[in-house]
Structure 1
């Protein structure tokens, strides 16, 4: 059966016009080159070279075979180099799906980390609602996803990165932040800023108030975490947000304390598709993403 070594030996003899020089290029013996060419000629049923004591020339069959085979060999070598580049992280594209808030806070930091560690890798960021992240990773439209996901998501490998607890975010120096933890019942007389019912965080917020036996009467309802943080900074109220909202503080004069009685938490995870082999670039970026999340989000509890 025809093999790549035979074609490479044939190429070396064609280009160098000499068996001994071909053997030097391929770091083998002249006998090894001759053996490979004889096997190739036997497989093809035709003589490929006319040999004399002074030179080696292609026969007509050799010229036909060279015209067809050598361009293909060049393509194979380029393909091998391309795969090696992927393995050595000299090239690669990683597509990441993230909810808008993490896309605006964590992924810019990730871009910096990737640029420093693996400057030849490219990232493509898709900031989408959380419900779209798992389907995009599962279908192969994205390589990585980050966010909060159900533990029984089908077809996904879920790597937990950190525990994310609901917290109260208040203007710096607010009386509610004098203690290390804040009970939900302590919020009864506070103007509450919540996310709208489109967010899973709102559902958890309602669970917290209901469990504490305190009615939830939002003072303000907003769609985005960044909007809630801006309102808190302007002393419009206190906001119930996840721990990862810390990534959006950026020096704002805001304090935060974990909410207890009950403590409500969930996992922030990075996901990949279980049935797809992640590329070396995806694995490298996943490692950096986990590091960035842990660096930017404080450990609570």
Structure 2
């Protein structure tokens, strides 16, 4: 038999009032039930905590010793209950997210704005990392959820789709192809092609899809970041293909964005997380992402 919260509350009520009748009223408990609860606590601890007589109730030496400990235990329990209640009702807490750069810089801020407006006491940490590192961080438990292109089936993580994103062409404003309405891959690849370095999921996806269509991706320049790729294209060094999520970001850099076909390359984007329940904050953020993302 172990000490219970009910027993702690009973002991503290009697210790504060030194009167079983008033303690019973405070606890909304009958005097016989209160006496039995105190007796059970004393049996658990192995000795008397209270001196009882017909005239008064006092604390034994052991009771005096136990009183501050009992207060602290109950305070810790009450604090833990309140902390968890606030977390479950989203009055406090935190959620950590890793997202591939194209999503982190373009689609994620809008969802986070709505989330913060509703749950301003929830701390949100965003890790802006490449697709492969997002998956690695989720697997290692360093973040609760990640936003990536759909991984290959059979992995350790759960995947909730948000939508599809397709690749678009980006060329400089001075490019001979800049005035076209759309481009084929064969036309785009007549220009020096700039893309992300291996082992980028974007690079791998382009190579695999083009190979199936009989096109070989000849790369003239490489970079680690899509923003750098965009700046290189804007500077007239060549052309590239990027997720449509980046369109506004690329246009802000001064490039021309064009639909791309032959083949159309697209892939689902979604949230990955470990095969266990998400925290309340992460669940709410996931629902907001599903509502706000319309690629």
Please tell me the TM-score bracket, short chain as reference.
0.7 to 0.9
Provide the aligned C-alpha RMSD in A.
3.2
Give per-residue Cα distances to partners, 1:160-200, cap 9 Å, x unaligned. 111122222356894332x5xx4434435455443334423
Bigger mean CA deviation after superposition, 121-130 or 104-113: 104-113
2:29 is aligned to: 28
CA contact (8 A) 2:250 2:257 kept: no
Alignment partner, residue 148 of structure 1: 149
Quick one: distance in 1 between partners of 2:124 and 2:250? 24
Q: What is residue 268 of structure 1 aligned with on the other side?
A: 269
> Is 2:163 the partner of 1:133?
no
Is 1:175 aligned to 2:179, yes or no?
Answer: yes
Larger mean Cα displacement after TM superposition, 244-253 or 11-20: 244-253
| CA distance 1:249–1:215, shift in 2 (3 Å) | closer
Structure 2 counterpart of 1:74 = 75
Deviation at 1:106, TM superposition (A): 4.0
Q: 1:283 to 1:215 in 2, by over 3 A?
A: closer
Asked if structure 1 preserves the Cα contact closer than 8 Å seen for 2:251 and 2:257, the reply is: no
TM-score, reference length from structure 2: 0.81
User: In 2 relative to 1, CA 109–16 (structure 1 residues): closer, same or farther, beyond 3 Å?
Assistant: farther
* Map 1:65-214 → 2, pairs under 5 A: 65-152=66-153, 154-170=155-171, 174-177=178-181, 182-187=183-188, 189-190=190-191, 192-214=193-215
Change (3 A) 1:245 1:31: same
Equivalent position of 2:226 in the other structure: 225
Q: How many residues align?
A: 291
* Cα 1:206/1:138, change in 2 over 3 Å: closer
1:256-295 counterparts in 2 under 5 A? 256-274=257-275, 276-292=276-292, 294=293
Cα 1:16–1:235, aligned 2, differ >3 Å: closer, same or farther? farther
Q: Which deviates the most, 117-126 or 203-212?
A: 203-212
Aligned 8 A contact 1:184 1:212 in 2 = no
- Residues of 1 paired with 2:48 and 2:190: CA distance? 96
Q: Any unmatched runs of 5+ in structure 2?
A: none
Question: Deviations along 1:131-170, whole A, 9 cap, x unmatched?
Answer: 2222221221211111124233532121111112222235
